[in-house]
């Protein structure tokens, strides 16, 4: 049996983009529902947590020891040929954050603004009527909305359904690892 629901706004994806969109729409009086495919916001960890201090200010999130690991003053770019370019400032320029805790803080802000978050629901396809997106459906549910925001992230299943992803389009791929026993300069980032 399929459960049918209706709302003003549906946000697909409970990462930073989706949660910020939900927060801003809820602040403006929209009835917003966020669906997140994973059972908990912030899990699994999707990417590194390096955020500029200016960027954090712009999105209206106060720095908190609940999600900030350390502060960064600069970085080094190391080319495959071994050339190193270093940029360093005397003041803090970025934060290294616990992404799961950061995402949960954004979820709190969205809910405080009035958004509803539902975890463990995966949108499998968009509902299209006369060329217009009118909602989404998953296994056993449909949600109709006046506004649907696709913030599903790098998977881009729904964007592909609309033909918005072309062959060869792709994000830069990187690797994020946690290591111990390595001598690092905590105020610097290396790429």
We report the CATH number of the domain holding residue 128 as 3.50.50.60
Give yes or no: residues 105 and 142 share one domain. Answer: yes
Q: For the chain, how are helix, strand and coil distributed in percent, rounded to 5?
A: 20, 35, 45
pLDDT tens for each residue of 1-33:
467 778 899 999 999 999 999 999 999 999 999
Give yes or no: residues 109 and 91 share one domain. Answer: no
182 part of a folded domain? no
| Angle of CA points 46, 118, 57, to nearest 5° | 55
Give yes or no: residues 110 and 61 share one domain. Answer: no
Give yes or no: residues 38 and 106 share one domain. Answer: yes
3 part of a folded domain? yes
Structural domain including 81 reads 50-97
Number of domains in the chain: 2
118 part of a folded domain? yes
Cβ neighbours of residue 11 closer than 8 Å, sequence gap 6 or more = 18, 19, 21, 22, 25, 32, 33, 34, 35, 115, 148, 149, 151
Residue 45: predicted pLDDT: 78
β partners of residue 86: 76
Q: Distance between CA atoms of 87 and 67, rounded to whole angstroms? A: 25
190 part of a folded domain? no
Residue 188: predicted pLDDT: 87
Which residue did the predictor score with more confidence, 173 or 10? 10
pLDDT tier, 155 (very low <50, low <70, confident <90, very high otherwise):
confident
Instruction: Give percent of the chain above pLDDT 90.
Output: 70
- 32-36: strand order across its sheet: 116-119, 32-36, 3-12, 141-150, 132-138, 125-129
Both tokens of 61, joined, read: 């999130």
Cα dihedral 41, 44, 48, 54 in deg (nearest 10): 0
**pLDDT > 70? residue 173:** no
Q: Mean of the pLDDT values across residues 84-109?
A: 95
36 part of a folded domain? yes
pLDDT tens for each residue of 108-154:
999 999 999 999 999 999 999 998 999 999 999 999 999 999 999 87
């Amino acid at each position: 049996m399929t459960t049918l629901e209706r709302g003003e706004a549906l946000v697909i994806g409970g990462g930073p983009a989706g949660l910020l969109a939900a927060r801003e729409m809820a602040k403006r009086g929209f009835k917003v529902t966020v669906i997140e495919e994973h059972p908990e916001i912030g899990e699994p960890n999707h990417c590194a947590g390096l955020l500029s201090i200016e960027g954090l200010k712009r999105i209206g999130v106060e720095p908190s020891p609940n999600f900030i690991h350390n502060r960064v003053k600069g970085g080094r770019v190391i080319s495959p040929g071994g050339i190193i370019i270093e940029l360093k400032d005397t003041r803090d320029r970025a934060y290294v954050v616990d992404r799961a805790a950061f995402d949960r803080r954004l979820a709190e802000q969205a809910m405080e603004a009035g958004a509803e978050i539902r975890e463990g629901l995966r949108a499998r396809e968009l509902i299209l009527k006369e060329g217009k997106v009118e909602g989404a459906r998953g296994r056993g549910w449909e949600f109709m909305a006046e506004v649907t925001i696709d913030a599903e992230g790098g998977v881009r299943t729904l964007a592909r359904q609309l033909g918005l992803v072309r062959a060869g389009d792709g994000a830069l791929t990187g690797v994020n690892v946690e290591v111990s026993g390595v001598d690092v300069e905590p105020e610097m980032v290396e790429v």
